[in-house]
Chains A and B, each alone.
Chain A
Amino acid sequence: MSELLQQIINGVSMGSIYALIALGYTMVYGILRFINFAHGDVFMIGAFVGFFVAPLMVPLVGGSGLAAAVIIMLVSMAACALLGVTIEKLAYRPLRSRPKLTVLITAIGVSLFLEYGGQLVFGPDPKPFPALIPSTMIVNSSFLVLSSNSLVVIGTALGLMLLLRYIVFHTRMGTAMRAVSFDHRAASLMGINIDSVISFTFALGSALAAAAAILYGSIYPSINPLMGLFPGLKAFVAAVLGGIGNLYVAVIGGLIIGLLETLVTGYISPIYRDAISFAVLILILLFRPSGILGRHEAEKV
């Protein structure tokens, strides 16, 4: 029983990280109807920005601590937002009216470019991610081990999700985003600048991925240029699980994947950790292709 509770706490903190990444997938899909394969690698870049910025915090705010952690996260989010916008401008924008397959292959190309570019620049070997906030044990008994780390992760993720909810539903830009995702043409006739809305969406999604990366680094303090591949794919599964294009269900999907993965690792075998999310994906796509909560859209000729 106590082990189960432990697994659930770990699963929820992992799941909230997946949820943050999944939100980026789902927002981009909602607006462009296209899966940004490189999203997981933006996440990786976020972790590396954190890695390189962290040592600079010592002269600035005296090493680790809440202030340093907040600054590192903000810098990483800003850097990734910029990266996301650049990727969209250079690689995806020229292809906007092309067949989906073309854009998909390009996205895979961008993803591998970041991974191997990362190996070239950062080196292929794993690097230790610094502990930003010293983790303390809140509960440490034979019954349950609860570190402040998992609470920080869950809390930060929740805060960012609420912030995103505010942006999407209560600001002008958010309204524009929803309008564009509903109908490109009608939105542009109403005077919405489609290009800037798309850029903004990429910035927002990439910033969330960067935040997720910093949180991920506090759970798994080892980063490498290929680290984005599996979290990216799993977050994609999370986005699809609920029905891609919907913010709330992306979060639920993230939590489900995180829990499932932790439980499989704990109770069956760690070998299947990465395979389980794919198995879920295949089952979902076969039986409910529009997601557990999704609506079915008929294809127009």
Chain B
Amino acid sequence: MKQHRSKVYLLLALVAAGILSKFETSISPYYFQIIIYIGINVILASSLNLINGFAGQFSLGHAGFMALGAYTSAVITSSLHLTPGSAASYPMFAAALIAGGLVASIFGLLVGIPSLRLKGDYLAITTLGLGEIIRVIIQSLDFLGAARGFTGIAKLADFFWVYAVVAVVIFTIANLVRSTYGKGFLAVRDDEIAAEAVGVDATRYKIVAFITGAFFAGIAGGLYAHFVTYINPSQFGFLRSFEIIVMVVVGGMGNIAGVILAAAVLTILPEALRAVAQYRMVLYAFLLIVIMISRPQGLFGAKLDWGRLWRWIGRRPSPPAEGKA
């Protein structure tokens, strides 16, 4: 039942993205850009949420996956000389995005393997290291433009592409973690030894989380590259990964709706606070410390959901509760 309903939601979201994309020329380019960034950040944060929030691993290298997707898809579309709007551009762009996602997920597998032996701090630093290694390698490859960056990428990503992917990613992750299979992620996160004891294949779940998360991050990178049309290795550094982590932590690790909301708010916030832009990262860092000390489950808690929020908004006055809830 629930599965069926979420498919309807997905379809509705795709149709809405298609219709709304007709209006993209009627709003100012500045707002349009922010809307696109929100979509890309929602994909990044949701995919990291699968790794960090649901599977309980800790990845600090998400920007590395994004870089792989961005460069792979940019190389493909540039070598095909796609022109935006042409009939061939749609399937080819989709193929390029998926190729970027696949390359990222191969590296996700590589990162996932250490997670089988490492935990917490060590895994965090290993993923950080792998992210940096990816960046350094790209920087040393001349055909990718090295440190100068990769220019002249066709502007293929528009509102429809970004939000169609957003819908698909949220649909996939939400269904994955709510399925019977997906309960395994939570089991591995909550107690790996106990999960193994009752027959949950922890190894497999960790790898699946890393591969899926990396795949979507790679696609987000592809969308980003084809929106800004210029990429260089420094856009995918450690700080990028950190920004994504802040979104996940603020939204609540393992809280799909909360992370989406946090990604949107934390994308808009720096624009709204442009006057005090230099305080932004200090504020982020401070926010992170305060949240960890006072509300480690994230601002929206671990359980808040759109449905519950909806019911809460439309609630009828309930009779006074008897005793303790």
Give chain A's interface residues, CB within 8 Å of chain B.
34-35, 91, 94-95, 98-106, 108-113, 115-117, 119-120, 229, 233, 236, 240, 269, 271-272, 274-275, 278-279, 281-282, 285-286, 289, 299, 301
Contact = CB atoms under 8 A, between A and B. Distances in A.
A113 B282 contact: yes
Interface in B256-294: 278-279, 281-282, 284-289, 292-293
B285 A109 contact: yes
Contacts of B149: none
Given A271-B139, A282-B114, A285-B118, A112 B126 contact: no
A91 B289 contact: yes
A115 B282 CA distance: 8
B16 interface: no
Q: For the complex of A and B, list the 7 residue pairs with the smallest distance between their C-beta atoms, beginning with the closest.
A: A278-B129, A109-B288, A113-B285, A112-B285, A116-B281, A109-B289, A275-B136
A225 to B, nearest CB: 11
Contacts, number: 113
A282 B129 contact: yes
B121 A110 contact: no
B139 A282 contact: no
A120 B286 CA distance: 14
Contacts of A108: 60, 242, 245, 288
A35 B125 CA distance: 10
Contacts of A35: 121, 125
A236 B193 CA distance: 28
B296 interface: yes
Q: Pick the most buried of A91, A100, A229, A275: most chain B CB atoms within 10 A of its CB.
A: A275
Contacts of A272: 136, 140
Contacts of A117: 282, 285
Most-contacted residue by chain B among A95, A111, A285 (CB, 10 A): A285
A110 B285 contact: yes
B117 interface: yes
Contacts of A106: 288-289, 292-293
B55 to A, nearest CB: 12
A29 to B, nearest CB: 9
B293 A278 contact: no
Nearest to B279: A120
B54 interface: no
Nearest to B278: A120
B121 A34 contact: yes
B293 A95 contact: yes
B293 A91 contact: yes
A265 to B, nearest CB: 13
B124 A104 contact: yes
B133 interface: yes
Given A282-B126, A286-B117, A98 B278 contact: no
Contacts of B296: 98-99, 102
Contact of A278 (B122, B130, B286): B130
Contacts of A116: 281-282, 284-285
A112 B238 CA distance: 11
Contacts of B128: 233, 278
A278 B60 CA distance: 13
Max chain A CB contacts within 10 Å: which of B113, B133, B242? Answer: B133
B120 interface: yes
B140 A271 contact: yes
Given A98-B296, A102-B296, A113-B282, A278 B117 contact: no
22 contacts: A102-B292, A105-B249, A106-B288, A109-B285, A109-B287, A109-B288, A110-B289, A112-B285, A113-B285, A113-B286, A115-B285, A116-B281, A116-B285, A117-B285, A120-B282, A229-B238, A240-B122, A240-B125, A274-B132, A275-B133, A279-B129, A282-B133
Contacts of A120: 278-279, 282
A91 B291 CA distance: 11
B289 to A, nearest CB: 4
Best-surrounded residue of B249, B282, B284 (most CB of chain A within 10 A): B282
Contacts of B238: 229
